Structure 1
Amino acid sequence: MREFTVPALAAPPLVGGLADAVFDHAEDDPRRIVFGRKDAAGQWRDVTSEAFRDEVLALAKGLIAHGVRFGDRVALMSRTRYEWTLFDFALWSVGAQSVPIYPTSSAEQVLWILHDAEAVAVMVEHEDHAMTVGSVIDRLPRLQRLWQLDAGAVGELLDAGTAVDDEVVHRHRRAVTPESVATVIYTSGTTGRPKGCVITHAGFMFESDTMAARWEPVFHSRPGDEAATLLFLPLAHVFGRMVEVAAVRGRVRLGHQPELSANALMPDLMTFRPTFILAVPYIFEKVFNGARRKAEAEGRAGPFDKAVDIAVKYAEALELRAFGLGPGPSAGLRVQHQFFDKVVYKKVRDAMGGRVRHAMSGGSGMNRRLGLFFAGAGVTVFEGYGLTESTSAATANPPERTRYGTVGQPVPGTSVHIADDGEVWLHGPNVFSGYLNDPAATRAALQDGWLATGDLGALDEDGYLTITGRKKEILVTSGGKSVSPAGLEERVRAHPLVAQCIVVGNDRPYIAALVTLDQESVDHWLAMQGRPPLPPADLVRDPDLEMEVRRAVVAANTAVSQAESIRTFRILAHPFTEELGLLTPSLKLKRKAIEAAYGVEVDALYH
């Protein structure tokens, strides 16, 4: 199939902007709990729609008092915090545009974004961020204000706004139209300088309202309960921003967690107890691997692996029934599943707070077997696909007919087209307006209203999309064989001891790989063998560990032809990190940077 369209569910907005929902909800249901906010003691405190409205209004008045005007761009540089959401809606209330910056950005990256966006002000989280901005401020003549959250920025702005009349904010808010620009989000830049994606209020409203209209039933743990989600994705990323907007517009109780690491996240999942989560595959991998390690440490690895097999078979049987291809789980399978639900699956659900029954995953591909396991364990993960340029989700698996291993069908009201060269094209109200100050790049990306994504994919007979790689990442060996590295890398990474994998081989005689290790899993693996921890330099030469990684490579190779297979690999002593310039803030591999940094190791693979 070359093209597939799903009819719209949400009507395009005719008037207003994103901030209107805050004021409308406070008027309709002032006592409704809309946020959970952590206090200094680590306890979650409720924030009502009325209280949030009052904070947004007061902060908006402070922004006006500090000189922020309609159409101005204001940068936000922080981890995922309640104050970011407060600033977003306050800026939208006065018709200003927010420009997110990853908190880990370098001084040069900050300089580029603030300069390109012509930002008049920037909100930062702490002193380190302030110093980063300060180091380049002499080259930013338009930048007039810097507010630091941890130095009392919110209080400062609230005090400044007391002399501004409420009606001044409302006049600004009423001037916002759906076509007004809401935000400029800079791509994370795996190649070249980041480009600013211009996204309108209409784009975010369509995206969030469509997601709510189609997937709202799965926001709940059970029918009729309060919907709640914990946001731990970076708010500098379009996925995190879409969750923020959708939660506010959809009246979903929202909590913020600034750390994406499993050690910081898991305790907050237990205390906040969301009914659904939106995450990247890394989180689900961590939950699964943590449960597997715990079972092995308790001498129950065998039963756990049996429970995994039963969960996968159970979910596969339900999947076949959903598509009219089978009767569903057999009586015997149902009995086994019920047994393991009490002794294994419930513990997996409890690790996510105990109430999660559904989740959405995006950002990168999720292993089909992992998705089936979670579904069989009682947490259905709806995998989706999108870009900054599509205001987050462009496709997602529908609730009643999930096809694991695919990224689903187009979200309602949009279309997916597969070009002659296999490139995925997108069309719909969620597609961005263009790149800021870059008409050439805009013309290259938008062709007759279609967004050329740069991703390669295929549509099946039911309109489900599978992403197979990136056009720019295709490797061509010296023998002329074209190889998409993404699938191989994902399969190697499925091994619990592997953290990262990058496939190389462009203009080389064969395909090879560099592999990094998951230190937590390696430490557990050594302990289970009664061996002490090893320093990284010894680990990479350990024959038993090399044999484990070789198993992962052999398993990955079974899915491709011999010419596409990984012939050899090298285990690296240290992981690829954003700090070393080898990952984007959204954890994607910077391939050219990695191959340059490890040029000696890559050359050694071919000698």
Structure 2
Amino acid sequence: MDLINFQPTRTLPGLLLDRARKDPDAVALRYWRDGSVQAITWRAYANRMREVALGLVAQGVKHGDRVAVMSSARPEWACAALAVQSVGGVVIGVYPTNSPAEIEQTLVHSEAVAFVGETATELNKVAEVATRTPDLRLVVGIDADPPTLPKGVKGTRWQTLSDEGARHHEDGSGLLAQSVAAGSLDDAAVLFYTSGSTGVPKGVTHSHRTLQHAVQTFVGLYPQSRRQEHDVVGFLPLSHVAPALVSIFAPLLSRLVVTYCSIGDYERVLRSVRPTAVLWPPRFYEKLAGELIAQTETWPRLRRAVYDAAMWVGRRVAEDRWSRRTPSVLLRIAYAAALRGVFLPLRAKVGMDRIRVAYTASAAMPESVIAIWQIWGLDLRECYGLTETTGAPIAHFNQPFPRPGFIGRIFPDPRFQVKIAEDGEMLLRAPLLFDGYWRHPTETEAVFQDDWFCTGDLVERAPNGDIRLIGRKKDVIITRGGKTINPQPIETRLRESSLINEAIVVGDARKYLTVLIEPNTPAGGQSTEAVAELLRAEVARVNADLSRVEQLKDFRVLPRSLQVEHGERTANGKIKRNAAVRSFAALIDEMYGANDDEAIANHVRSKSN
């Protein structure tokens, strides 16, 4: 792949068929099963894709149809996506945490004709809403039989579908090849549904062309993946845009090999695979760093003294790197010894010793977390992308060990452009930009300004060209795990209670959501404890209708009402969220307690400071 002048020539299933012809016996992907890693070659991958595709055709799936997939990260997800696309269909990722109501909303809006679910849990959810999804006519269970379904909706197993396709393989393989060859690069390939941060979730439409330009930027993050094998562990749900890009589409145009596993197994698989490429939300780096720091605190005194000395050296090397100074010869020698004798063995405990460069995106990353990994010798960098871009138009592409706090620079292809509007909003032009919101032309038009995509993110540019995120125009929360959540519907539900005057949901850059509550004056002289119990019941009532990532884990009652004179309300009474969060920061911190990034920040600081 030419990183600068890249032009797609084939659809995504066409790329799979090409790889199967050129490298039939090379490993295409791996998966974790029963405590060991199993491999699938490009030939086997293509054959599985053909069988599923022909099985879908036999069940009436045709060009333009939408097929939803709700599953953990596994080879069947990738196979389903490419099989659907090979017959001209569009794959839809359904979040594993979605409630039945959210599944219904997605299926109805997309007019999906088929649903692929992994276990009885997913299949039961879709069965619950199937009578209200008029276009649905096929439900496929990967690991379980579909439950009883309404008349007109057929249930089958994944293996049965594949076997049916295999029976048509000789007669249908030529027709399938023709279907793939007839596919257009500008056909819709995937609908990635947003989390509804500005209202009803929107289907972000990406074509075969835009997805391949997104892969272009990912390969820009790991240029060596064009020439030599890179290993990655795929455990994040493929309904999310970045994991789908990395685990399904990037391997088609690179030598990236994914090992799929469930999120419950990922730490064991990391230690087994020892990946060489990583693109994770911040919380996984934070979690692993917290575990390693905890281990160092249990070491014997002598070993701990050696580690402390290595950290002293690592801090000074990191400070020189951030200032673009060259460390002295003695410091470089000392750091090489610290890396080999201390930091790499430490990273090996979580399978992170083979990685030289790693990336994070999707949420705010505490600078201390970036710093600790860089001190430990992992070149951890931030990058920037949205569902509407899939890939990373902005990143530290060729800037080793960047100073924490910046997302990098625009991808070095003249077709990729960035400018900053008068109000500070970042605007983008790039060939990876989405093709529009599914059947929402007015919503699509609203986010473009003279062919520039309005990101909704406020930025500033440093003199050297590096870009820093400073805020968002939209009133949304992005959790540490990268979930984008609109707090207003949750707050509205809470205010339906006669006990609650105001509610402020918080959780930006945190692991979960909590809420500050301004109660109405309690009647009848009820005690504080009694009011708290009543409020707890109201929070539970609202949580019952929310997906897991939207649920409120704790609440605090405000000690006073929100006031204009404190800057917490506008003159006409509207809440100023940021000001309220600042006013009650200590109360908010109580709901989160001691956290990993505080421990990491303390660990990064030199004891002499």
- TM-score range normalised by the length of the shorter chain: 0.7 to 0.9
Pick aligned residue for 1:103 from 72, 96, 105: 96
Change (3 A) 1:571 1:446: closer
For 2:542, the equivalent position in structure 1 comes to: none
1:370-410: per-residue Cα shift (whole Å, max 9, x none)?
A: 22332232221221011101123221112344343211111
Q: 1:22 aligns with which of 16, 22, 29?
A: 16
Aligned to 2:199: 192
Query: Match for 1:360: what amino acid?
Result: Y
Partner residue, 1:34 = 28
Q: What TM-score, normalized by structure 1, do the two folds share?
A: 0.74
Q: 1:479 — aligned with what? A: none
Aligned length: 492
Q: 1:302 to 1:488 in 2, by over 3 A?
A: farther
Question: What is the match of residue 424 of structure 2?
Answer: 422
- Pairwise mapping of residues 182-261 of structure 1 onto structure 2 (< 5 A)? 182-213=189-220, 215-217=222-224, 219=225, 226-244=229-247, 245-259=249-263
Aligned to 1:298: 299
Report the 3-state secondary structure (helix = DSSP H, G, I; strand = E; otherwise coil) of the residue aligned with 1:255: strand
How far apart are 1:505 and its partner, in Å?
12
SS in 2 for 1:150: coil
Q: Deviations over 1:162-207 (max 9, x none)?
A: 2251011112111111111111110012342111101111001111
CA deviation digits over 1:442-487, x for unaligned, max 9? 1111222211111111122232221112112399xxxxxxxxx999
SS in 2 for 1:276: coil
Matches within 5 A, 1:171-190: 171-190=178-197
Q: Quickly say closer, same or farther: Cα 1:333–1:214, change in 2 above 3 A.
A: closer
In the alignment, what sits opposite 1:396? 395
How has the CA–CA distance of structure 1 residues 436 and 424 changed in structure 2, closer, same or farther, with 3 Å as cutoff? Answer: same
CA distance in 1, matches of 2:410, 2:361: 14
Matched residue SS, 1:390: coil
> Is the 2:51–2:164 contact (alpha carbons within 8 Å) kept by the matching residues of 1?
no
Cα deviation, residue 78, structure 1: 0.9
Deviation digits for residues 273-302 of structure 1, max 9, x if unmatched? 222222111111111110111111335667
Instruction: Please identify, of 462-471 and 108-117, the stretch whose mean Cα deviation from structure 2 is larger.
Output: 462-471
Mapped partners of 1:52, 1:433: distance in 2: 29
* 2:74 paired with 1:81: yes
**How far apart, in 1, do the equivalents of 2:183 and 2:164 lie?**
24
Q: C-alpha offsets along residues 117-160 of structure 1, whole Å, 9 cap, x if unaligned?
A: 01010101111111111111111111110001112733111121
How far does the alpha carbon of each residue in 1:73-92 deviate from its partner, in whole angstroms, 9 at most, with x for none? 10011111111011111111
* Separation (CA, whole Å) in 1 of partners of 2:409 and 2:310: 30
CA–CA separation in structure 2 for the residues paired with 1:350 and 1:408: 30
For 2:230 and 2:335, the matched residues in 1 are separated by: 31
Residue matched to 1:407 = 407
Paired residues of 2:62 and 2:88 also in contact (CA < 8 A):
yes
Distance in structure 2 (CA, Å) of the matches to 1:26 and 1:333: 46
The residue number in structure 2 matching 1:385 is 384
Structure 1 residue aligned with 2:124: 131
- Tell me, what secondary structure is at the counterpart of 1:61? helix
Q: Deviations over 1:501-543 (max 9, x none)?
A: 879899xxxxxxxxxxxxxxxxxxxxxxxxxxxxx99xx9xxx
1:191 & 1:276 partners in 2: Cα distance? 33
Match for residue 361 of structure 2?
362
1:442 corresponds, among 438, 441, 444, to 444
d(CA) in 2 for partners of 1:409, 1:503: 36
**Structure-2 change in CA distance of 1:453 and 1:416 (3 Å):** same
Cα displacement (A) at 1:18: 0.8
Tell me the equivalent position of 1:570. 587
**Distance in 2, Cα, partners of 1:562 & 1:97:** 44
Distance 1:409-1:503 versus aligned 2 partners, 3 A rule: farther
**Deviations 1:209-239 (CA, angstroms, capped at 9, x unpaired):** 343255322x59xxx7631111122200110
Which runs of 5 or more residues in structure 2 are unaligned?
Answer: 146-156, 478-503, 519-552, 557-577, 594-609
* Counterpart residue number, 2:280: 279
1:48 aligns with 2:41: yes
- Note if contact 1:278-1:360 (Cα within 8 Å) is conserved in structure 2: yes
- Structure 1 unaligned blocks of 5 or more: 1-6, 476-484, 494-498, 507-535, 541-560, 577-607
Does the 8 Å CA contact 1:314/1:334 hold for their aligned counterparts?
Answer: no
Equivalence map 1:134-153=2 (5 Å): 134-151=127-144, 153=157
State whether residues 311 and 372 of structure 1, in contact with CA within 8 Å, keep that contact through their aligned partners in structure 2. Answer: no
Q: Which amino acid aligns with 1:20?
A: G
> 1:569 & 1:215 partners in 2: Cα distance?
41
User: Shift of residue 500 of structure 1?
Assistant: 5.3
Distance 1:433 1:311, change over 3 A: same
- Tell me the distance in 2 between the aligned counterparts of 1:369 and 1:313: 15
Deviates more, 1:392-401 or 1:105-114: 392-401
Identity of aligned residues (%): 28
Alpha-carbon distance in structure 1 between the residues aligned to 2:352 and 2:369: 19
Over aligned residues, Cα RMSD in angstroms? 3.3
Distance change >3 Å, CA 165–CA 138, structure 1 → 2: same
The answer on whether the counterparts of 1:10 and 1:206 sit within 8 Å (CA) in structure 2 is: no
Provide the secondary structure at the position in 2 that maps to 1:253. Answer: strand
**Equivalences for residues 466-485 of structure 1 within 5 A:** 466-473=468-475
In structure 2, what is the Cα distance between the partners aligned to 1:96 and 1:474?
32
User: Which of the residues 156, 161, 173 maps onto 2:160?
Assistant: 156
**Counterpart Cα distance in 1 of 2:337 and 2:514:** 40
Superposition TM-score, scaled by structure 2 size: 0.74
The structure-2 alpha-carbon separation of the partners of 1:364 and 1:117, relative to structure 1 and needing over 3 Å to count, comes to same
Deviation at 1:251, TM superposition (A): 2.6
C-alpha spacing 1:76/1:412, structure 2 compared with 1 (3 Å): farther
Q: Is the 8 A contact 1:209 1:250 kept in 2?
A: no
Q: Would the alpha carbon gap of residues 562 and 126 (structure 1) be closer, same or farther in structure 2, given more than 3 Å must change?
A: closer
Give the match for residue 451 of structure 1. 453
Matched, 1:311 2:314: yes
